[in-house]
Amino acid sequence: MGAEVTVTSVNFKEEVLDSALLVLADFWAEWCVPCKMVGPILEKLADEHKDKIKVAKINVDQEGELASQFNIVSIPTLLLFHQGKVVKQQIGAVPRPVLNDMIKEYL
């Protein structure tokens, strides 16, 4: 079930806040090189933990209201949602071990 899903203001509540799974929200943009570096790592995490986590892809150029709501000023920004609440944040492109550490206590 866990996978990457495109999230907009229309489906944010359903896909992120009401999710039974842990949600790693990736605030990104098409032109962002560091975002493109993190993308494949997130895909692998979603695939490996598919019953426990979903990656929510939120394009800041298309979803400025969501980005503003969560005070996103630099991308990529990753927010970890557990039971509808932000429990961790990571700004910038980071290697896989950092992302593993970010999610492991909630898996």
Instruction: Indicate which residues carry an active-site annotation.
Output: 32, 35
| Whole-angstrom Cα Rg for the chain | 12
Q: Output the six-digit token pair for 66.
A: 């969501």
Handedness of CA 42, 94, 19, 64 (dihedral sign): negative
Residue 78: name the closest of 9, 4, 19, 11 by CA: 4
Q: DSSP class of residue 8? A: -
Residue 105: count of CB within 10 angstroms of its CB: 10
Q: Output the six-digit token pair for 62.
A: 């298309």
